[in-house]
């Protein structure tokens, strides 16, 4: 029995060892599984972290690329703006040739719009009430048999009559309001139509005056033309216009922008990725000045083109353009307005030019323009003609006030008085004058001396009292006298005006042509003489060549 128990115990002990070994094995396996799971989890965490890091780097690279693209696009846009700015100031003349301006007289007229003729709606105005619709119907035989029918009928009839009168009163009130509104509308339309008729009449009178060569109307016409003309940003919109009907000459003073206002100082922009900086490549001063000089030349030619192109009636036969720059003088800090280019030409001469293929500077040289040596540095030149001399000051014979005018009439002076007047004028202007023999055409000839250094010298002055246009022969005679006298300049003054041939001959020569309005201005400005020019009916014109 003891051996049996021992055997059992030994057997149990052996089974315990097996159980223990099994348990241990399971524990080891569990530990290894947990370790593997931990390593797997750790690897997953590392993988996820690396994935997040890669995604962050990818986003950073993408953001960087997007940023670089934005910066590059910004620089490209800035360079495009520069190119457009340079193109706009380099194609001022070409733009005008494509987009020429004209005054459309019909577009200046006004019309009363169709909507203004629409009458007031009648939807609120009902038909006139009818009395019968408000009164009760007469009772029949059976109704009259009922007690009190007469009293009831009279009451309903009275109520109907009252309702009818009330409705009729409201209808009449509404009708009166409607008629009053129609009358007011009609009055407004009549007023509007009167305003439109008056405006259109003014436009018609304006056109007639322009076509007749009225100085104010002609100046107003070209003011309309210049207002319609589109220039690049930075160009001032300021000009003065004067027209001399005796010479059919238009003078225009207009302002140009300064170099810094329109010519960019930057040649191009460049973006450096490594430093994230936008750098500027600057234009050389020589390049900027060249662009500005071309701008000045094109602007003046464009003004000439706009004058002759828009003037379809050919009222203007001679055009003078003076270009000014309103700026601050860097040397003095004071505001200055120098003239940097001046040109005068005839319609016939200008129409021979094909502006599509010209070099603007060469074209202006052909037109004998006076050009500043350095417009960008505000170096001034003297205008070929002062616009103040172009103001029309003639007293028309039809002007009744002229009969009451006490000013001296240059056309009624004796030859001696006229000679003294002209001599006095140029003495007051600073010339040392000496009269010569009377000219064969009844004018005044004198040889004068301008005492100014460098600019001065011998000057031949001729003044001619003419009614009609002075032809080219008189200018040729003056030029011949200049050559004979060895003079440096010639001045021809007339009480009338000059033909296109006269201006063409004088172009490029040291000859100054002053019309009647110029003479009146000079007498007032320098000699204090307020004169007039009224040609007598019995005036006999000296023989001369028209042109």
Which H or E run contains 463?
A: strand 457-464
Place of tokens 């997007």: 66
Q: What is the DSSP track for 116-147?
A: GGPPPP-TT-PPPPPGGGTSPPPP-HHHHHST
Tokens of 455: 């600019």
Please work out, in degrees rounded to the nearest 5, the angle formed at the alpha carbon of residue 89 by the alpha carbons of 83 and 90.
80
SS3 state of residue 524: helix
| Chain segment 41-88, per-residue pLDDT in tens | 888 888 888 888 888 888 888 888 888 888 889 999 999 999 999 999
Tell me how long the chain is: 547
| Chain segment 175-208, per-residue pLDDT in tens | 888 888 888 888 888 888 888 888 889 999 999 9
Q: Are 307 and 250 in contact (CB under 8 A)?
A: yes
Q: Which pLDDT belongs to residue 326? A: 94
Q: Are 171 and 130 in contact (CB under 8 A)?
A: no
Q: What is the DSSP track for 12-52?
A: HHHHHHHHHHHHHHHHHHHHHHHHHHHHHHHHHHHHHHHHH
Tokens of 382: 């003297």
Closest to 353 in 3D by CA, of 89, 93, 87? 93
Q: Are 228 and 101 in contact (CB under 8 A)?
A: yes
Q: Kindly list the domain boundaries of the chain, sorted by start residue.
A: 41-101+230-389, 120-211, 400-526
Q: What is the DSSP track for 38-93?
A: HHHHHHHHHHHHHHHHHHHHHHHHHHHHHHHHHHHHHHHHHHHHHHHHHHHHHSHH
Distances (CA, A) of 507 to 369, 445, 493, 500: 9, 22, 16, 11
Q: Strand 239-244 relative to strand 249-256: parallel, antiparallel, unpaired?
A: antiparallel
Q: Where does residue 394 rank: exposed (0-12), middle (13-18), buried (19+ CB within 10 A)?
A: buried
**How far is residue 388's CA from residue 522's CA, in Å, rounded to a whole number?**
10
Tokens of 139: 């009772």
Q: Are 264 and 287 in contact (CB under 8 A)?
A: no
**How far is residue 72's CA from residue 65's CA, in Å, rounded to a whole number?**
10
pLDDT per residue rounded down to tens, the chain (547 residues):
555 555 555 555 556 667 667 777 888 888 888 888 888 888 888 888 888 888 888 888 888 888 888 888 999 999 999 999 999 999 999 999 998 788 888 888 887 765 555 555 554 667 888 888 888 888 777 777 778 778 888 888 888 888 888 888 888 888 888 888 888 888 888 888 888 888 889 999 999 999 999 999 999 999 999 999 999 988 999 999 999 887 889 999 999 999 999 999 999 999 998 888 999 999 999 999 999 999 999 999 999 999 999 999 999 999 999 999 999 988 888 999 999 999 999 999 999 999 999 999 999 999 989 999 999 899 998 888 888 766 543 333 333 333 345 678 888 888 777 777 888 888 888 888 766 655 544 455 777 888 776 667 888 888 888 888 888 888 998 888 888 888 888 999 888 888 888 888 888 888 988 888 788 888 888 888 888 888 887 887 765 444 4
Closest to 108 in 3D by CA, of 210, 237, 191? 210
SS3 state of residue 99: coil
Tokens of 62: 């993408």
**How far is residue 160's CA from residue 134's CA, in Å, rounded to a whole number?**
5
Place of tokens 């569990």: 30
Q: Strand 489-494 relative to strand 511-514: parallel, antiparallel, unpaired?
A: parallel
**How far is residue 535's CA from residue 80's CA, in Å, rounded to a whole number?**
63
Rg (CA), the chain: 49
CA dihedral 36, 42, 46, 51 (to 10 degrees): 80
**How far is residue 484's CA from residue 217's CA, in Å, rounded to a whole number?**
43
SS3 state of residue 402: helix
CATH code of 400-526, in short, is: 3.40.1350.10
């Amino acid at each position: 029995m003891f051996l049996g128990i021992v055997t059992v115990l030994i057997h149990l002990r052996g089974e315990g060892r097996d159980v223990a070994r099994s348990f241990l094995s399971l524990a080891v396996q569990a530990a290894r599984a947990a370790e593997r799971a931990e390593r797997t989890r750790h690897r997953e965490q590392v993988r996820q972290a690396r994935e997040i890091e890669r995604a962050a780097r990818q986003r950073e690279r993408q953001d960087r690329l997007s940023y670089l693209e934005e910066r590059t696009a910004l620089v490209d846009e800035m360079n495009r703006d520069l190119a457009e700015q340079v193109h706009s100031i380099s194609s001022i003349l070409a733009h005008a040739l494509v987009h020429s301006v004209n005054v459309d007289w019909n577009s200046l007229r006004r019309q009363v719009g169709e909507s203004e003729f629409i009458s007031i709606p009648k939807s609120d105005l009902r038909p006139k009430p009818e009395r019968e619709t408000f009164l009760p119907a007469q009772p029949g035989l059976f109704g009259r048999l009922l007690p009190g029918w007469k009293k009831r009928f009279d009451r309903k009839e009275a109520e109907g009559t009252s309702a009818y009168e009330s409705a009729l009163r409201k209808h009449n009130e509404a009708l009166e309001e409607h008629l009053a509104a129609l009358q007011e509308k009609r009055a407004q339309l009549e007023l509007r139509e009167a305003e439109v008729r008056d405006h259109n009449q003014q436009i018609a009178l304006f056109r007639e005056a322009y076509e007749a060569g009225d100085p104010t109307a002609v100046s107003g016409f070209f003011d309309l033309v210049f207002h319609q003309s589109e220039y690049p940003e930075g160009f001032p919109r300021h000009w003065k216009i004067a027209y001399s009907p005796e010479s059919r000459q238009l003078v225009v003073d207009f302002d140009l922008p300064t170099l810094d206002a329109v010519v960019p100082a930057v040649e191009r922009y460049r973006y450096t990725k490594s430093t994230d900086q936008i750098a500027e490549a600057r234009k050389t001063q020589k390049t900027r000045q060249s662009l500005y000089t071309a701008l000045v030349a094109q602007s003046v030619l464009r003004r000439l083109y706009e004058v002759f192109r828009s003037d379809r009636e050919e009222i203007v036969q001679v055009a003078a353009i003076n270009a000014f720059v309103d700026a601050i003088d860097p040397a003095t800090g004071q505001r200055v307005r120098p003239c940097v280019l001046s040109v005068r030409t005839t319609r016939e001469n200008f129409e021979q030019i094909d502006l599509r293929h010209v070099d603007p500077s060469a074209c202006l040289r052909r037109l004998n323009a006076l050009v500043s040596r350095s417009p960008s540095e505000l170096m001034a030149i003297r205008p070929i003609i002062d616009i103040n001399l172009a103001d029309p000051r003639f007293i028309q014979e039809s002007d009744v006030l002229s009969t009451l005018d006490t000013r001296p009439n240059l056309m009624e002076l004796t030859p001696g008085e006229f000679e003294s007047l002209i001599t006095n004028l140029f003495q007051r202007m600073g010339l040392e004058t000496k009269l010569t023999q009377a000219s064969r055409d009844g004018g005044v000839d004198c040889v004068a001396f301008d005492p100014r250094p460098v600019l001065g010298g011998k000057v031949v002055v001729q003044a001619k009292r003419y009614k009609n246009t002075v032809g080219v022969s008189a200018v040729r005679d003056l030029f011949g006298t200049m050559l004979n006298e060895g003079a440096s300049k010639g001045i021809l003054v007339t009480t009338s005006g000059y033909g296109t041939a006269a201006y063409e001959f004088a172009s490029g020569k040291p000859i100054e042509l002053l019309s009647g309005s110029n003479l009146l201005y000079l007498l007032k400005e320098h000699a204090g003489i307020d004169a007039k020019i009224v040609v007598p009916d019995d005036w006999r014109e000296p023989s001369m060549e028209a042109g």
